[in-house]
């Protein structure tokens, strides 16, 4: 299909690696947040279809759903492996999550990353109208604005990084970091989750790239570009998640879960199966809780939902094996004929059911080693029963910890501290639970996904 350029009034054009098509269940944070934003405002969503085809397609698949148009392309096996499994997920993801030990740097993967970004730029330039606002998302597409500028695109282009950004001292561990990271200056606005991430970006440009800071807070590069970097903490659709939690009773599956608990307190974790989420450390901390508190045996159940992701990357297959072993080991040590301490589930579920599961749980256990924000933490809080809310145990290294300060904040690597926090959460009196929950809910109601999106887009529109 040939694609005519769009010449109408200003639209929102969202670009991300994966596009959550209307018929698909999205299990990623980006997809949930962007999907909600686009549905509300309308516009175009461009990216990879998720299909690996014989050839990287020159054809763009287009479909309309309500106010959103979806335009996607397929990738060849080679492009997928080098760009997605390779440079994006074996080089950038571990680096951005403070794991230089896991960084696998390979020039072939970098070439694939640039090839796919060029392909995105080629296809996208004919879809963009002269007044459109372009919003590029995440680490897969760092050089996209620079490549669009090379092709003459003068629109305002914003970038949002959904991961953390480590300090310059770590970023420079990436071979040829300048060639890649300095292309960020081609955006007009760069959004990050927290002030700490924003500072890291500024430091990188000031001390590694020779940029200067203008009076108005813009960074000015040696190449003559100027851009802004700001923190925009992403939110959730608080009202909808609360409504889903409130309707938990309508689902047979929630009744089944409640019945199966036989009055035991539920601890819940929900995470993509990813080494950044701190799952082995979490399992150890739960085991430590059982070890130090025999009184809790048979009184508590830990449900960990972990839909697999990125199965093409060896580290992901390895963590899956490690968790199976660990869950088996803990259950082997502590299980009784009528009690299984850990229920470890590798499936994904419809969002409304997840909210019901969260609401059933006395404790939400969210302990990533590093996380840009972590929407599960926010969803757990929003889905609680205001009269009898559960307690959030949250890693200090999730962006969400900067806002949800009334959670029990822990260092996920400190097994003893997490075990203590679990015990405290399980025994916390109702008035304290209510007070902490109310304060967190106030933040979530004010800073929801609509406020996030509006703040970013208003700033971008300048
Ligand atoms: C990245 C950053 C940042 C999970 N399981 C199922 C399911 N989910 C949904 C959750 C939540 C989302 O996926 C996960 O979001 P997180 O923020 O927790 O984590 P990442 O996927 O790593 O997201 C992160 C985020 O982007 C946004 O910027 O916060 O730091 O890493 O919404 O509910 N959804 C469904 N079934 C599942 O089984 N339907």
- Structural domain including 185 reads 12-235+449-461
* For residues 348-372, average pLDDT: 97
pLDDT of residue 1: 37
Q: How far apart are CA 451 and CA 232, in angstroms?
A: 9
Cβ of 346 closer than 6 Å to ligand 1, yes or no, is no
Instruction: Specify whether 220 is catalytic.
Output: no
Helix pair 375-382, 430-446: axis angle to 10 deg:
120
Closest residue by Cα to atom 1, ligand 1, is 29
Q: Which residues 6+ apart lie within 8 Å of 440 measured at CB?
A: 381, 392, 404, 406, 407
314 and 180 in a common domain: no
Query: Which pLDDT score is estimated for 28?
Result: 63
Q: Cα 27 to chain center, whole Å? A: 10
Q: What local confidence, expressed as pLDDT, does residue 5 receive?
A: 47
Predicted confidence at residue 6, as pLDDT, reads 54
Ligand 1 contact via 234 beta carbon (within 6 Å): yes
Of the listed ranges 28-42, 119-133, 165-179, the one predicted with least confidence: 28-42
Both 186 and 300 in a single domain?
Answer: no
- Considering only residues 299 and 29, tell me which one the structure prediction assigns the higher pLDDT: 299
Q: Which residue puts its alpha carbon closest to atom 28 of ligand 1? A: 162
Number of neighbours of residue 6 by Cβ within 10 angstroms: 17
Ligand 1 binding pocket includes 371 (Cβ within 6 Å): yes
Same domain for 309 and 221: no
Domain contains 86: yes
Give yes or no for a contact between 393 and 455, defined as CB atoms under 8 angstroms apart: no
- Do 229 and 302 lie in one domain? The reply is no
Token pair 């950038």 in the structure block, residue: 92
Alpha-carbon distances of 355 from 81, 112, 180, 242, 383, rounded to whole Å: 34, 39, 39, 8, 6
- How many alpha carbons lie under 13 Å from residue 216 in its C-beta half-sphere? 5
Which of 22, 26, 31, 32, when mutated, tests ligand 1's pocket best, judged by the most ligand atoms within 8 Å of its CB?
32
Report whether 192 contacts 162 (CB < 8 A): no
| Same domain, yes or no: 248 and 202 | no
Of 196, 193, 268, nearest in space to 235 by CA: 193
In this prediction, residue 71 carries a pLDDT of: 96
Domain shared by 334 and 388, yes or no: yes
- Name the domain count of the chain: 2
6 in any annotated domain: no
The SS3 call for residue 322 is helix
> How many whole angstroms separate alpha carbon 383 and alpha carbon 247?
10
State the distance from the centre of ligand 1 to the C-alpha of 111, rounded, in angstroms: 29
Q: Strand (E) positions, 179-307?
A: 189-192, 212-213, 219-220, 226-231, 265-270, 300-305
Percent above pLDDT 90 for the chain: 87
The whole-number average pLDDT for the span 285-301 is: 97
In angstroms, the CA 141 to CA 117 distance is: 6
Domain identity same for 206 and 316: no
pTM of the model: 0.95
Which stretch of 23-37, 83-97, 99-113 has the lowest confidence by average pLDDT? 23-37
Residues 332 and 431 in one domain: yes
What are 311-329's pLDDT values in tens digits?
888 888 899 999 999 999 9
313 occurs within a structural domain: yes
* Catalytic residue check, 371: yes
Task: Tell me the per-residue pLDDT of 104-120, one tens digit each, with 9 for 90 and over.
Answer: 999 999 999 999 999 99
């Amino acid at each position: 299909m040939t694609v005519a350029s769009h010449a109408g009034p200003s639209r929102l054009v969202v670009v991300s690696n994966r596009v959550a098509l209307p018929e698909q269940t999205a299990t990623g944070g980006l997809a949930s947040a962007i999907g909600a934003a686009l549905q509300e405002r309308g516009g175009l969503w461009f990216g990879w279809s998720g299909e690996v085809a014989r050839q990287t397609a020159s054809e763009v698949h287009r479909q309309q759903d309500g106010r959103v148009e979806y335009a996607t392309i397929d990738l060849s096996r080679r492009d997928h492996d080098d760009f997605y499994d390779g440079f994006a997920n074996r080089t950038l993801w571990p680096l951005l999550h403070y794991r230089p030990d896991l960084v696998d740097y390979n020039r072939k993967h970098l070439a694939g990353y640039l090839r796919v970004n060029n392909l995105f730029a080629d296809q996208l330039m004919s879809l963009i109208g002269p007044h459109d606002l372009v919003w590029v998302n995440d680490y897969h597409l760092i050089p996209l604005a620079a490549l669009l500028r090379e092709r003459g695109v003068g629109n305002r282009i914003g970038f949002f990084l959904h991961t953390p950004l480590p300090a310059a001292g770590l970023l420079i561990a990436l071979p040829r970091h300048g060639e890649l990271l300095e292309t960020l200056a081609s955006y007009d606005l760069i959004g990050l989750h927290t002030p700490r991430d924003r500072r890291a970006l500024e430091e990188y440009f000031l001390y590694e790239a020779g940029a200067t800071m203008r009076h108005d807070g813009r960074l000015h590069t040696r190449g003559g570009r100027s851009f802004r970097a700001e923190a925009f903490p992403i939110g959730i659709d608080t009202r909808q998640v609360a409504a889903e939690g409130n309707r938990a009773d309508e689902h047979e599956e929630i009744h089944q879960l409640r019945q199966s608990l036989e009055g035991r307190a539920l601890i819940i974790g929900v995470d993509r199966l990813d080494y950044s989420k701190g799952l082995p450390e979490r399992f150890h901390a739960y085991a430590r809780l059982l070890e130090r508190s025999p009184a809790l045996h048979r009184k508590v159940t830990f449900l960990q939902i972990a839909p697999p992701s990125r199965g093409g990357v060896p580290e992901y297959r390895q963590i899956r094996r490690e968790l199976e072993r660990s869950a088996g080991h803990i259950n082997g040590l502590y299980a009784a004929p009528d009690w299984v301490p850990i229920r470890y589930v590798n499936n994904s579920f419809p969002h409304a059911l997840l909210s019901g599961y969260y609401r059933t749980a006395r404790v939400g256990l969210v302990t990533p080693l590093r996380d840009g924000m972590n929407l599960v933490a926010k969803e757990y809080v929003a889905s609680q029963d205001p009269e009898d809310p559960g307690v959030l145990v949250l890693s200090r290294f999730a962006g969400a910890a900067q806002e949800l300060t009334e959670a029990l904040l822990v260092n996920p690597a400190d097994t003893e501290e997490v075990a203590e926090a679990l015990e405290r959460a399980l025994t916390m009196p109702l008035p304290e639970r209510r007070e902490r929950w109310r304060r967190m809910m106030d933040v979530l109601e004010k800073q929801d996904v609509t406020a996030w999106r509006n703040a970013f887009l208003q700033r971008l529109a300048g």
